Structures are given as structure tokens and as C-alpha cells.
Chains A and B, each alone.
Chain A
Amino acid sequence: MKFPDFLVTKLDWVANLARANSLWPMPFATACCGIELMATAASRYDIARFGSEAMRFSPRQCDLMLVAGRVVMKMIPVLQRIWLQMPEPKWCISMGACASSGGVFDTYAVVQGIDRFIPVDVYVPGCPPRPEQLIRAVLDLQEKVKATGTANAREFTARTVYAGPTSLLKQIDPEQTMVVPGDYNTASRSRS
């Protein structure tokens, strides 16, 4: 017997409804964004209203990675391993300026946006973002899941990583960054 097409569409719809309204976050909180993440999960903002309150610290039980805070390059293999350990279907929210772009930490050790190394679905701006912004991001992700999801989670096969923006800032000459005993009368850095 051949199944009619509308039955498959309805299966997608039911699967997406279930997935979108019970996202289980894996909190990868490395900095102050993690505090806002905790506030979002606490009673005042209460992310349980949107079905995402089941935070699990084991990647095998999660389907949403919440990267909150700056990630250093030594941490990237750990982040990627946790991401690979999460079962499909899975999504990623990059929370805050540091996770999304490196923020103010443009140094040799800090990753300039996790989207250079793992796929990201929703970016949350802010330093740190307010809990309302994170809830908005979860709602946006729910919409994305409902709009793009398929019953067998094959919607991910066609998507690849976004390369991320390049920095527009100038590299500072090492001599300009030196702090030397200056002229205390004029408060200038150069010595006369």
C-alpha cells in the first residue's frame, strides 16, 4: 500500500510540535552569561513555561546546546566533543557577545565566535543578554524547529557551517602597547 503525501506532512508536524516544546538544554556556561542563564531557569523568568526547563549536564540526554560565555581555544575540542556526543536532532544557541563573536576578548587564546567551529542556529546579542532575550531566542528556535524540522531529522544533512565574520580592527604595533615609565608631570606615555 502506498502512503498518501499528507500523512507524512502531518507526521512532521506532530514530531516538530513535540520537539519544539520540550527542548532539553545542555548548559555550556563558561562566564557571566551563565548567571543570566541560571536566572532564566529560576522562578522569576521561568523557562519552564516554554518547555525548556530540563537542564541536563550530560550531553547524551540533551538536544539543545546553550553556549553561554567566552570559549578559549583549549576548550574548543571539549566543546566539539560534547556537541558530537549529543544525539540527533540537536540545535545550538550561541548566547552573548563572547560566544557569538569573541566579544571584547580579541586575543590569541579566545575563539572569535563558536560558529567557526560548530554549527549555530540562534545568536543572542548582549553582554550578557537579559533573560527575556534568551527566552526570545528559545521561542525563535521553536519557530525554526517547527518550520524546518522533518520527522526523521534529515533537515540537517544539507546544512553546513557558517564561516563567521572577519575582524575589522587593526593590529596594534607592539611598541604602541608597551607601558613604560612615563612622564608623570604630563601623564604621557613617552619619555622626554
Chain B
Amino acid sequence: MPDVQQLLAEKFGDAVKRSAFRDNVRYIVATDRLIDVMTVLKSAGFDYLSDIAGIDYLHYPDATDRYGVVYSLANTETAERVYVRVFVNDPDPHVSSVYSIWKGADWMEREVFDMYGIVFDGHPDLRRILMPDGFTSYPLRKDYPLRGRGERHNFQIVTRAES
């Protein structure tokens, strides 16, 4: 198996930055190269997408970008893991969908979209997955108040007289 670090450095140069802490390997990828990097990683053995997470870096010290999207990949033969991270910014945060590479990205990307409002270009069915359809905010953003903006009080009330 080729050395993934070397492979990525040869193919993408400065578009991929590597950092590591013990056995935890991270690659920070330029947002427009995500699909290329993911294709290379999958053919290099990281064939399982185990998770997609969103991060809001608002108020975070020394952060340069507003949002991050973290992909957790696993190699099902060697049990190695890498974490691929891209950054996106307001307004209109969007990143390419990896649905074409892993079908399992479908609901994961819908969840990140639901919670952070990050749009995944090329996703076949980008709808809310956890919050009700009529919900208008993105609740895991740091500027969203803990108690919401009154959404939970705006339902119809059923009284004794009409039930």
C-alpha cells in the first residue's frame, strides 16, 4: 500500500496540510479539492466513511474560518483512521457532497445541513433530517440562543372546548 502522506503531498502539494497527534492523523484540505482528495484516499484504502461532523468556530480563539466540516475515514483492512477537515465561511457556506463516493454520506450530510446550514453541492436530497420541516434556524450554530427564537411556542394549542 502506498504511503498516503507521500501520495497526497505529491498529488496536491499545498492544498493538503497534515498534522498529527500520537496516532491521530488530520489532513486540512482546500475546500475546492475535497472530492479529489477523497477519491485518492478511498483508492488508497480508506474505504469507509464513518462520520461527518460540523464545527462552528464563532468566538473560538485564533480561528480564521467560521465553519469546519470534518470527515472521519477508516481503513477496514488495517483499522487506520484519518480525519479530513475543510473550512467554509459565511455567507452561503457550501462544500461539495461526497455522496458520489460514499452513499452513506446521505444522512450524515443532511444532519450537518440541518444543524449548521452548510449546503452540500451535489447532494441528491438535501432536506432537514432531525428538526421539523418548518424550522427556520440552524440550532447548533454558536449564535443561536440555547432556548431558541420562540419556535417551540408557535404550535397550535388544543383546548378542552375544541377536543
Contacts and interface: CB of A to CB of B under 8 A. Distances in A.
Partners in one complex: yes
Interface of A: 73-74, 76-77, 80, 83-84, 90, 106-112, 116-119, 156-161, 167, 171-172, 174-175, 177-178, 180-181, 191
Contacts of A108: 139, 144-149, 151-152
24 contacts: A73-B151, A74-B131, A107-B148, A108-B139, A108-B146, A108-B148, A109-B139, A109-B148, A109-B152, A110-B152, A117-B156, A118-B158, A118-B163, A159-B161, A160-B159, A160-B160, A161-B159, A161-B160, A167-B147, A171-B147, A174-B59, A174-B142, A177-B146, A180-B61
B157 A161 contact: yes
Nearest to A72: B152
A33 to B, nearest CB: 20
A110 B146 CA distance: 11
B132 interface: yes
Contacts of A160: 159-161
A159 B160 contact: yes
Contacts of A73: 132, 151-152, 155
Contacts of B152: 73, 108-112
B161 A80 contact: no
Contacts of A167: 147
Interface in B121-155: 131-132, 139, 142-149, 151-153, 155
Given A160-B160, A180-B60, A191-B61, A77 B155 contact: yes
A157 B163 CA distance: 9
A119 B158 contact: yes
Given A157-B161, A159-B160, A161-B158, 8 more contacts: A73-B132, A74-B131, A106-B146, A108-B146, A117-B156, A119-B158, A171-B146, A172-B146
A178 B60 contact: yes
A2 B114 CA distance: 66
B interface, size bucket: 20 to 34
State the 7 A-B residue pairs at the shortest beta-carbon distance, nearest first.
A108-B148, A159-B160, A161-B159, A119-B160, A73-B152, A156-B160, A74-B132
A171 B155 contact: no
Nearest to B156: A80
Contacts of B131: 74, 109
Nearest to B149: A108
Given A73-B132, A171-B147, A117 B155 contact: yes
B130 to A, nearest CB: 8
B76 to A, nearest CB: 33
Given A109-B152, A181-B61, A83 B145 contact: no
Contacts of A111: 152
Contacts of B60: 178, 180
A107 B142 contact: no
Nearest to A112: B152
Contacts of A177: 146
Nearest to B58: A174
A175 B59 CA distance: 7
A81 to B, nearest CB: 9
Contacts of B158: 80, 83-84, 117-119, 161
A90 B163 CA distance: 9
